[in-house]
Every structure is written in C-alpha cells, then in structure tokens.
Amino acid sequence: MSTVKLSPLATTIQQSQNWEAQMRQLMLAGKQLAPLTPSEQCDDNEVSGCESQVWLILGGDTHAVQLRAYSTSKIIRGLLAVLMEPLQGQSVEKIQAFDSQAYLQLLGLERHLSQSRASGLNAVVKAIQYRCQSL
C-alpha cells in the first residue's frame, strides 16, 4: 500500500480527529455520489452480499475505467466514494491489484466497520474487479 497516494477524500478522513469526525466526513463524501436513475437501480446493477442496497455501473475501457455507484445508506455512500476515488479512471490492471482492506486500514476505518459493512465493501470491490473483466 505504500505506493498508493491517498485521494483527497481519504486524506480528509485520515486527518479527522476521531470516529465521529470521520463519520461526518464519510457522510459528506457520500453526497458527492450522483444518484442513479430508477432504471439504473436494477437487479443487473445491484451488488449482492451487501446489507444495504448498492448499485454499481462500470464504463470506459481497459485503460480508463469509469465507476458509478450508489447506496441507500448514507455511510455506505461515503465509503463507496472513498473507495472509488483512487480507482476512478484507472486501468483494469491497477483496479485488479487494489487492496481495499489495506486502503481502509491505512485510513484507520477498518477498526470501526462492523463485520457486515466490511463484508459488503469487500463484495463491492470484488464486483468492481469482476466486472472489469468484461471491459
């Protein structure tokens, strides 16, 4: 993970003084995600394995993947924004190599996530990596 440069959102969260401040920053980060249209919030785009509903759309090509995601949960939206920021516009190869658990640990978030949230985020990252294969 030492080669990963923290994104602006991640830096803000990492510099937060305590868990409450991190949660505030996560909820603010989630506001940056544009809602998906009702037609985009379909079964084909839904990520299974998440406690909250999460929809994921990938576009672009193998050299520059574009990610869009949304969740019904404010906290999950924030976590999605934080996880997607370093992946946005990256190559499939870099996305496949991304270690989300190490990234969350670097930010100090992993110790505060419930088992179900951590599993859900892992499902999202695996879905991103899997769906990249079809680009």
Angle between helix 74-84 and helix 100-107 axes, rounded to 10 deg = 110
Phi then psi dihedrals of residue 54, to 5 deg:
-135, 130
Alpha-carbon 82 to chain mean position:
6
Please count the residues of the chain. Answer: 135
Q: Which of 50, 67, 80, 121 is catalytic?
A: 50
Instruction: List, as one string, the DSSP characters of 92-132.
Output: HHHHHH--HHHHHHHHT-GGGS-HHHHHHHHHHHHHHHHHH
Cβ-contact 55, 45 below 8 angstroms: yes
Active site residue 50: yes
Angle between helix 115-132 and helix 100-107 axes, rounded to 10 deg = 130
- Name the residues annotated as catalytic: 50
